[in-house]
C-alpha cells in the first residue's frame, strides 16, 4: 500500500478538553488553554519537569473512545479527568497520527506512539478498568514547536512531505 494513502486525512479534528497533571497522583487541573513548551511538554504538567527530549511529553486521547471505554467498564460515562490524559481530541483518528507531525493551535507536535493504560485505571474505572482502556488509551507526542493550545483549536495532521 502506498505511503501517500497514510498521509491523507479526510478532515481536521478539534481539541475538546485540556488537563494538566501537576504531579503523579494530584488531581487534574482542567484548563481552557495551555502553553506547549518546545521539547518539554505542557506548562504546568509534570511531563514538562525538565527532562527534555523524552517521547511522552503530551498525552492525547480520542473523544469518541470515551463512550467505548465507559461501555467496556460498565459505566454510564467516563470523564477525561479519570483517564489522566492531557488533551482530548474529536473528529480525527489519533491512532493514525501516532508517528506523524500535527498542529494544534500554534504548536507543532509529533506522535511518538501509543499511550498504554496503567494500573491506576483499576482504581479510576473499577475492576477491569485497565482492560476496558486497552486499545483506546490514545497516543503520546513530543512538542516540536511550542505555542498556545486552546479548547476549540483545530488538530491538523501534517505528515512530512504533505502539502499541509
d(CA 14, CA 105): 10
In a domain, 162, yes or no: no
Domain range for 94 is 3-157
Contact assessment for residue 126 and residue 44, using Cβ atoms and an 8 Å cutoff? no
- Which carries the bigger pLDDT value, residue 43 or residue 164? 43
- Which carries the bigger pLDDT value, residue 3 or residue 129? 129
Provide the domain count of the chain. Answer: 1
Compute the mean pLDDT over every residue in the chain, rounded to the nearest whole number.
89
In a domain, 80, yes or no: yes
Share of the chain above pLDDT 90, in %: 66
- Which carries the bigger pLDDT value, residue 142 or residue 128? 142
- Which carries the bigger pLDDT value, residue 123 or residue 89? 89
52-88 residue pLDDT tens: 568 889 999 999 999 999 999 999 999 999 999 999 9
- Which carries the bigger pLDDT value, residue 164 or residue 144? 144
Q: By 3-state DSSP, what share of the chain in percent is helix, strand and coil, each rounded to 5?
A: 20, 35, 45
In a domain, 164, yes or no: no
Regarding pTM above 0.95, the answer is: no
Contact assessment for residue 126 and residue 103, using Cβ atoms and an 8 Å cutoff? no
CATH number of domain containing 35? 2.40.33.20
Amino acid at each position: 500500500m502506498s505511503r501517500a494513502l497514510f498521509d491523507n486525512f479526510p478532515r481536521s479534528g478539534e481539541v475538546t478538553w485540556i488537563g494538566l497533571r501537576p504531579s503523579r497522583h494530584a488531581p487534574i487541573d482542567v484548563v481552557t488553554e495551555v502553553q506547549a513548551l518546545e521539547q518539554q511538554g505542557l506548562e504546568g504538567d509534570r511531563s514538562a519537569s525538565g527532562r527534555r527530549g523524552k517521547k511522552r511529553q503530551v498525552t492525547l486521547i480520542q473523544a469518541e473512545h470515551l463512550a467505548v471505554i465507559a461501555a467496556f467498564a460498565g459505566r454510564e460515562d467516563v470523564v477525561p479527568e479519570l483517564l489522566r490524559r492531557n488533551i482530548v481530541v474529536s473528529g480525527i483518528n489519533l491512532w493514525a497520527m501516532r508517528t506523524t507531525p500535527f498542529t494544534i493551535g500554534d504548536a507543532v507536535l509529533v506522535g511518538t506512539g501509543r499511550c498504554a493504560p496503567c494500573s491506576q485505571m483499576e482504581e479510576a474505572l473499577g475492576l477491569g478498568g485497565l482492560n476496558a482502556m486497552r486499545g483506546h488509551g490514545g497516543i503520546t507526542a513530543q512538542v516540536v514547536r511550542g505555542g498556545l493550545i486552546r479548547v476549540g483549536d483545530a488538530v491538523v495532521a501534517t505528515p512530512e512531505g504533505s502539502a499541509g
